[in-house]
Amino acid sequence: MLPAERERGVALLTVLMLVAVVAVIAGASLERLRLATRLAGNAGAQAQAQSHARAAEALAMVRLDGLLAQSPDRVTLAGGWSDRPFPLPLPGGQAVARVRDGGNCFNLNGLVTEVTPGVYQSDPVQRGRFARLMRLAEVPAQVAEQVAGGAADWIDTDNDVQAGGAEDASYAGLSPAYRTAGTLMADPSELRAVAGVTPQVYAAVEPWICALPQPKPAVLNLNTLLPEQAPLVAALLPDTVATGTVAQALARRPAQGWRDTAGFWSGLSNSMASADAQAATGVKSAWFALTVDVVVGSASLRERALVDATRLPSRLVSRQWGEP
């Protein structure tokens, strides 16, 4: 009888092991099903949030076109439109759009000029202004010169190294190795790949830079520049002109803005601003930055977009999705 009892014990143990294995497999399958369901739900929520963001985007651009049509000769801060939240109620959530001047920045792509289509050449004037802007942002002078030259070399299509710059050979020995872009930057964050740009340097210059899709400097709108953005104008001027002087001139701006740039420059009689520096400013805006924050249920999304308003109706030229 003993052998039979042992056989029954082995059979019972086998059954228990099979039950345990089936339970583990079932648990794993249920977990995968739960995860797949959650991923599908999240994907659906994100798709819905993007759809709502585009609706808010369309509404914001209609309002922007209306603003520009009312005042075609100049753009000012009158009416408090800049960075003002425009809410769009949604079923189960909300979208909030904000628009601000997107051209009051140093355009990294302006470090070059386009000689022929697709062929870019470094612009020494803009390199100098970029270096001056970085010095105003408390980047050491030697580093500023290196970054300015390196950024121009990153974009231009030749292999001639600018003063303090870096071409392909400088990056070939890195791990991993890479090459310069040889074309316009799509996003200002590309500057982080340029030789000499440390996290500290990038943090210092990030508030002042942009990457407009054109190989020429951004024209600063003196009617929408804030006094705290004075370094952008000071970078156009000799080192003898203090940022505080420019900030004071911007603070004296009339409530309805200046009709032309002479109203601003006449208040800086000691600036010795060149005609070229004055031409880098205006009283209109051609680019706008659009931000849309969407919350729908448990999904949240932020859209950042660049709007080209060189002609009406304005059009979206780039869009990025991310988290708020």
pLDDT in tens, 19-31: 667 667 766 666 5
Tokens (6 digits) for 184: 């316009």
Assess if residue 7 is contained within a domain.
yes
- What is the spatial distance between Cα 196 and Cα 225, in angstroms, rounded to a whole number? 29
DSSP designation for 148: H
If residue 291 lies in a helix (H) or strand (E), which one and from where to where?
strand 287-296
Q: Which of 6, 16, 83, 89 is nearest to 52 (CA)?
A: 89
Assess if residue 39 is contained within a domain.
yes
Assess if residue 228 is contained within a domain.
no
* 120, 222 contact by CB (below 8 A): no
143-168 pLDDT per residue, tens? 999 999 999 999 999 998 988 899 99
Assess if residue 208 is contained within a domain.
no
CATH number (domain holding residue 63): 3.30.1300.30
Strands 299-308 and 287-296: antiparallel
| Sole residue written with tokens 């400013």 | 281
Task: Decide: helix, strand or coil at residue 3.
Answer: helix
Mean pLDDT to the nearest integer, 103-115: 97
- What is the spatial distance between Cα 293 and Cα 192, in angstroms, rounded to a whole number? 26
Assess if residue 256 is contained within a domain.
no
User: Between 295 and 253, whose confidence is greater?
Assistant: 253
Number of domains making up the chain: 1
pTM of the predicted structure, to 2 decimals: 0.84
C-alpha torsion angle, residues 160, 163, 168, 169 (rounded to 10): 100
Assess if residue 66 is contained within a domain.
yes
